[in-house]
A and B are shown apart, each in its own frame.
Chain A
Amino acid sequence: MKILKYSDVTPHNLYLNRRKFVEALGLTSLAFVATPTTAKPSYSTSAKPNTIDEITNYNNFYEFGTSKTDPAKYAHSLTTDPWEIIFDGVSQNKKRFDLPEILKGKAIQERIYRLRCVEGWSMVIPWIGFPLRDLINELEIDNNAKFVAFETVYRPKEMRGQKRATLDWPYREGLTIEEALHPLTFIATGLYGNELPNQNGAPFRLVIPWKYGFKSIKSINKISFMKEQPYTTWSSESPREYGFYSNVNPNVDHPRWSQATERVIGEGLFGERRKTELFNGYVEEVGDLYKGMDLKKYY
């Protein structure tokens, strides 16, 4: 197996990029952002990451259009600075935070995750960010909260796709509190050592590597803690096809297509399909979350 060096996934000078990253957030001092720490090796995959070109030109982000190339064309119109995140279901007085306030003191790290799309293709992406649990642990969340709901910003003037009722805007996703607190569940604010491009969900997005890509909601501006299972966009759009859990599972097909294999982006026209793994290869890490659960029923 090829052992990847840090430089394989961070082609640019890290210091400079961190500087850029910090500047992009409107910060004047580096003191707000802690030094990137290397993640526990098991959290990152050893697979070779896709190129920045592939990652930034092949996106599902219906807020900018339904074609894979629309986000790269139109996402620049989204204002990501300043960026506010509103919390609900928390007992503290302060419920609205600017992004720099959230990033302050967080240990920024890199995670190389496999992304498996429900459409049957996959990529490997080197994200920059921090585990969601680091944020949740700072909040005074309601005791009876069992779920976390996320919302993408709703700005039809800046997101041209929202002018059409392709989906029931704003885009919403959710997790159980146990899933949200899992160390693999990640908030990405950067990509390839740089700031996160708009088409990849800038400035603040979720990444859950063991679930189909649509669960990893982009450009989040609201996070709510609640007792009941929240509304989630795709599972409401077509409940038979998309479940609340939507864990990657080769044994449970999408009603209209197979999930047994995936096309690996970057392998070219003659690339071989890859066998999809249960929980996208993270059985060891997340298997306990679903112990005894009928995965065919709770897809």
Chain B
Amino acid sequence: MTFSSLFRSLPISLLYCILLIPIPLYFYWGTVNQLGPDPLRFLEHKYGELGLIFLLITLSISPLFKYAKINLMSYRRCIGLVAFYYIVSHICVYFFLDIGLSIDILLSDLQKRYYIIAGFFAFITLIPLALTSNNFALSKLNIKTWNRIHSFNYIAIVLSIFHFILMSKTWTGELYFYTGITIFILILKIKSTKFYKKLSTYSKADISK
């Protein structure tokens, strides 16, 4: 049994449970003061980071299939939604615990703080994806429309990386790591677009002339 077939035999509902367990678990550790001296920042960053990681995994599934013949396509929806739930948790920590439900701070942050604006739009971009990640939407929507909505994921990842860069004081190892992976995924995506393919056939035609 190969790795991918073993992995594919995992029921989706079990996968959801495993991937989402850290949300209540970290929250519980936070309430019993097990997250270090600054539990709020820890929880906020941890949910955000896990959201980013799952978003990157979602975006890697199609190139993994294409270039490495690893088929995780049937898990893409699950992992994508898991990413969305982490991002919702991240925003809840910010709104309920960090700024303490203050609409004033929220509004001023949304006007003045570039990292919050970037993060906010990343979240807004992901809402239609989350709403259409089900069989009902898939059956109602034209596949072209559905694909277009789900390509918003690339906009969301770019905004999320900007959100991360803009809130950091310096370029840390993590920041280089996540930005590097994002750029790599974007290059693979650009190379698979019709536009790029057309462009490269034209330039090849030029050379052969």
Contact = CB atoms under 8 A, between A and B. Distances in A.
Contacts, number: 61
A266 B172 contact: no
Contact of A58 (B37, B112, B172): B37
B40 interface: yes
Contact of B170 (A167, A256, A272): A167
Interface in A142-169: 164, 166-167
Contacts of A178: none
Given A256-B115, A257-B113, A266 B37 contact: yes
Interface in A114-149: 119, 121
Contacts of A67: 172
Contacts of A237: 170
B202 interface: no
Interface in A165-199: 166-167
A128 B156 CA distance: 49
A218 interface: no
Contacts of A270: 97
Interface in A90-128: 119, 121
Contact of A271 (B40, B113, B170, B172): B40
Nearest to A257: B113
A269 interface: yes
Contact of A53 (B37, B43, B100, B173): B37
B108 to A, nearest CB: 7
Contact of B105 (A50, A69, A258): A258
A52 to B, nearest CB: 11
B41 A263 contact: yes
A38 interface: no
A282 B192 CA distance: 61
* Chain A interface, >50% SS class: loop
A256 B162 CA distance: 13
B108 A68 contact: no
B30 to A, nearest CB: 4
Given A121-B41, A256-B113, A268 B172 contact: no
A273 B41 CA distance: 13
A148 to B, nearest CB: 25
A168 to B, nearest CB: 11
B206 interface: no
B108 A58 contact: no
Given A57-B36, A121-B38, A256-B115, A269 B169 contact: no
B33 interface: yes
A23 interface: no
Nearest to B29: A269
Interface of A: 50, 53-54, 57-58, 62, 66-69, 119, 121, 164, 166-167, 237, 253, 256-258, 263, 265-266, 268-273
Given A58-B37, A258-B108, A271-B40, 16 more contacts: A62-B170, A67-B172, A121-B38, A166-B170, A167-B170, A237-B170, A256-B167, A257-B115, A258-B113, A265-B38, A266-B37, A269-B30, A269-B31, A269-B35, A269-B43, A273-B100
